[in-house]
Amino acid sequence: MYDMKEAKRILIVGDVMLDIYIKGEAKRLSPEAPCVVLSGCSSPTSKLGGASNVAYQLSENNVVSLCGRIGDDHWGNEILRIAQKEHISVANLIIDSSKTTTKTRYISNSNHQLLRVDEDTINGIPEETICKIIEEIIAGSYDAVVLSDYGKGVLTDSLCKSVIDSCNEAGIPSIIDIKHSPYNKFRNATLIKGNEKELRELGIFLGIEGTDTFNLLKSISLFLDCRYAVVTLGKNGIAGYSKNDGFIEIPATDIPIHDVTGAGDVVTAFITVLLANQISFEEALRLANNAAQHKVSQFGTSRVSFDRICSPCPKLINDVSDILKNRLDKKIVFTNGCFDVLHAGHVDLLLKAKNLGDILVVGLNSDSSINKLKGTNRPINSFENRAKVLSALNCVDYIVKFEEQTPYDLISKLTPDILVKGGDYTLDTIVGADIVLNNGGSVTTIPFTVSTSSTNILIQLGYE
């Protein structure tokens, strides 16, 4: 676990909006037009979006203040309700007669987005509010400031220049989530971040269309005189340029992608708090990339836990409901074991198990469970060390600890589509086979192709 020391005080300034979701059944096409008919729609559910989603991502472990503009209407009140629930300060939030910016998504039961309807309000914030937040920055009220630009008018030239200058005067980082021109308003910021499309457009503005990612980021850093430039590359991961460290590229792993909504906000939030905690730029990129991958495996603008991503074992979860709510139409494969002395046979089994479905969940015996099963001299490796090793395998998506001698209760909660065990098991000896089969799933044994075992290894070492 990284030492995040104490909670950081972070100000987010930008375009505040609300993401609204309406879910229904999409079983047929309309006879009147080439479109889907959505029936049995649920009541709208809502989540913070835009700059307020960055605030939401940061509010788990930090003291967060949000500055922007919303309407004195139903959806504006919903933003205030959620902000209060998440302990986000709205003292610098302007509420007026304009409409709240919303993005309403119509979703099928299989979580496919069918239509998005936007209600946009283009509006700035009063000069007195700008003066107030500038005074707060200079007075040392914040440890970092984020400017989150969604092109809705809050981030004017004068606001951006004043905020960035004040951050530099106060000696705190300013992180910019860029949208589009004008770009000069972001000069002298600590870090500029955008997706590939946004930064390629900036590259065209600079006259460097078609250049490679390294030269693109370096050119942006030089043009805007920022210490860091970062681009999110979707399925290809993330890349960054630092004036001190040069070019850094972090690839993504092959994971199921359910929904990219809010992934950029997650990256912004992670980079902000990591830089505020003086974590190295390369490590900040790596952790932000991991957080983005975790986000896209979930539906909607869900929060990504800093504690989990920054943990030495980020794939370890306490509650299988985290898996089930993101199950969608993906096949869950489950296997279990002690994995006390991980060897080639284990890896072969896990790789083949992963190939049977989309999400591989590994049930891992606790130390006390192994002690009861194998004797007082086991396990050799602690649960934390065994979980950390399994987390390093790309084929493993989740690890769940169980205290019992068998994973029967865990399987009953998870109800996987496919239950996998090694070739030395038969159907009648596989714990949980009845649960899986009764739920329409399948049970598979995978023959051993590697002639080894933990016990044999320990015997050769003279341990047993």
Q: Residues with catalytic annotation?
A: 265
User: What's the rounded Cα separation, in Å, for the pair 346 and 337?
Assistant: 9
Task: For the chain, give the number of residues.
Answer: 464
Q: The dihedral of CA 101, 107, 113, 114: what is its sign?
A: negative
User: What's the rounded Cα separation, in Å, for the pair 308 and 6?
Assistant: 17
User: What's the rounded Cα separation, in Å, for the pair 346 and 292?
Assistant: 29
User: What's the rounded Cα separation, in Å, for the pair 356 and 317?
Assistant: 22
Ramachandran angles phi, psi of 49, nearest 5°? -130, 170
Encoding tokens for residue 402?
């169980």
Give the number of C-alpha atoms closer than 13 A to the C-alpha of residue 303, restricted to the C-beta side. Answer: 15
Q: Which residues of 303-315 are buried (b: 16+ CB within 10 A; e: fewer)?
A: bbbbebbbbebbb
Q: Name the 3-class secondary structure at 126.
A: coil
User: What's the rounded Cα separation, in Å, for the pair 101 and 313?
Assistant: 38
Give the number of C-alpha atoms closer than 13 A to the C-alpha of residue 348, restricted to the C-beta side. Answer: 14
Name the one residue in this structure whose structure tokens are 């979703």: 107
